[in-house]
Structure 1
């Protein structure tokens, strides 16, 4: 049976004509017929900038003479490109990963990167990460105004989306991370955090955002238990800056107590945009543990997160950042860090979560070497509203059962 024809328009930028022909042929096999190929990056940028054609996705080679992929990404950011971008590269992994980080700083919606030689499977998996149409419009955008955010908060338009953390050995969902989204009912679109999180931080609305999400999550606990079982836990993001407020542990405690939610089923994922070192931050962290909440060190491998925090602070979970999980099956540096974390977890009973799993090779490596490590990422499940979780879980369980039968 042939593939469904896609209506999305794709631009491919590469200085090699043979690579352009190959990618165009592969895209055709995947159902993408609206493909424009450019061997000259400047011609592609002019085409995109003047708006003669609306492109949903741009694939750009990283290593090109004169105008390289980083220049292309920078220019796409300057022109406020509304589509998604994917990096194509035959350079070493760290160079590609740094280019990806730079892309995010340019306000570009990055799908990921594909290593050369390009395969049909890698191309398909990347395109499968495209947001839904209602999300793409706001996947990357200029920051929301304070007035707009307050309007959405008061109107009850901030909603929790859930992304499962799966035990690869049992195939069970042991936990779900809560991610904030805004639903605009007038336009029928979902607004991503990149549009409103910086505004919340700038205008002191982060606590209100967190409280709103926590309250709706507490209301959803009964449904989450019905889908995943009574032992499933929920993770809510809390910034290191918020821990500086000594009242936050008691406020969260009162919120979940009022909803009859056991504190043992709630984990606070501490995101570190600043050093976790002030007496107030450390007191709040300790009090959360004393009250029975789990505490997770998010994005380990970036920013201020390090082994010193794990050794001296009472974390119950550590989440390995995508930068260390990306292509871990071939990345010896990432393998060494994850191995050290796995050893530490055995000694301290601190769970380890590999986040950002996007390739089947990454999942296979982690499952083979660390079967007790939880995994999370687009390969398993995109963040979803609670209404879509049960259907996903039924499908996921069926796929796992089929895979086991094939293996046996």
Structure 2
């Protein structure tokens, strides 16, 4: 499969191009085109006959730099993945990555120079399948299409574990919405339908559908991970403005005989959490026994004042603070403060978006009671695949412990 993928590498250094091409060959990628001139590469990608599955571009190049390349790829509606190569400081690279997302480019990740074979392999392992890539970048579906999927029962929950690195146990799983298209046999990602749900007032119906299916799965999840495993469901700050939502969720899980203590609502902050209605709904959820989690801490409107004054039982540290935390003193300072706060307040901390072994090692060494979540551990999976993953994970952990001893 690797040998069929076309890769383009853009760098003004001929020696770097030769090195990356050799590494890609070692990893099984033989169809590699190298470009020392960014404009030539852009012309080839835009007008050439070859479809490129992934483009690696150096960030710091004269005349046309990596940000220009990414901007032009966005303009030409490039349908492959993009990876940034950089020897610049982390904050410059991270901002370039954020800009790439705003250009509607699918960013695979970034690799620091000097490039290693391991870093290249880990990045390419995140390359989606062709059908996934197609739907990752598709335009938002119409209101009618989404309603059809909702009515047809095609909205399905995928689960991503939160692992205790000390015990190696899965203590919680986050529920993520997916849509299964039976006609094409494909799974549609949230960026295909979430904006449509928000625009047309279908978020509550989407949340209710996922919550009902999750409630049905609770017995299976308990059989896989143990009776104490909890489940997290995403709820937007905007939804909290509806004072009826706590009672509706309470009735839903009560009807399914699911204890509210086993359900956590992850509050995503696309807007400030400040209106009386939002605060009342948040408080009522806690009064009813639900856990409440502050999602994406470190982005948007989230701050320590929220944690101090609102009854959160969990805080999730955004990937932007976890990325390369082993070398990031700013991220280390924030996470250290959160860890200290959690000890005082009995509020769990979850590090989300863990993708590098160095990140996991740093977190495990310094904060062994902090839960970790991310692609390094497990990608979101349908419930049918969770048990097989957990058995494999447990075996890997056991093998690792034996090696250490």
* TM range, smaller chain: over 0.9
Q: Deviations over 1:363-384 (max 9, x none)?
A: 0000000000000011111111
SS at match of 1:137: helix
Q: Deviations over 1:105-135 (max 9, x none)?
A: 1111111111111111111111111223332
**Bigger Cα displacement from structure 2, 102-111 vs 243-252:** 102-111
Contact 1:357–1:375, Cα closer than 8 Å, also in 2: yes
SS at match of 1:175: strand
Change in CA separation of 1:6 and 1:256 when aligned onto 2, cut-off 3 Å: farther
Q: Deviations over 1:163-197 (max 9, x none)?
A: 11000011111111111111111111111111111
Q: Residues of 2 paired with 1:142 and 1:79: CA distance?
A: 15
Q: TM-score, normalised by structure 1?
A: 0.97
Structure 1 match to 2:167: 170
Q: Residues of 1 paired with 2:68 and 2:157: CA distance?
A: 36
**Bigger Cα displacement from structure 2, 340-349 vs 216-225:** 216-225
Contact 1:140–1:192, Cα closer than 8 Å, also in 2: no
Q: Deviations over 1:128-149 (max 9, x none)?
A: 1122333221112222111111
1:160 pairs with one of 157, 160, 181: 157
**Bigger Cα displacement from structure 2, 126-135 vs 177-186:** 126-135
Q: TM-score, normalised by structure 2?
A: 0.98
Contact 1:167–1:375, Cα closer than 8 Å, also in 2: yes
SS at match of 2:206: helix
Q: Residues of 2 paired with 1:170 and 1:8: CA distance?
A: 40
Q: Residues of 1 paired with 2:140 and 2:384: CA distance?
A: 28
Paired positions, count: 405
Q: Residues of 1 paired with 2:254 and 2:80: CA distance?
A: 43
SS at match of 1:168: coil
5+ residue gaps in structure 2? Answer: none
Deviation for aligned residue 1:385: 1.0
Contact 1:275–1:304, Cα closer than 8 Å, also in 2: yes
Q: Deviations over 1:317-358 (max 9, x none)?
A: 000000000000000000000000000000000000000101
**Bigger Cα displacement from structure 2, 309-318 vs 177-186:** 177-186
Contact 1:107–1:141, Cα closer than 8 Å, also in 2: no
SS at match of 1:200: helix
SS at match of 1:234: strand
Q: Deviations over 1:196-235 (max 9, x none)?
A: 1111111111111111111111111111111111111110
Say what the alpha-carbon RMSD is for the aligned residues: 1.1
Deviation for aligned residue 1:5: 4.8
Q: Residues of 1 paired with 2:68 and 2:187: CA distance?
A: 30
**Bigger Cα displacement from structure 2, 178-187 vs 50-59:** 50-59
Contact 1:88–1:114, Cα closer than 8 Å, also in 2: yes
Q: Residues of 1 paired with 2:102 and 2:179: CA distance?
A: 22
5+ residue gaps in structure 1? Answer: none
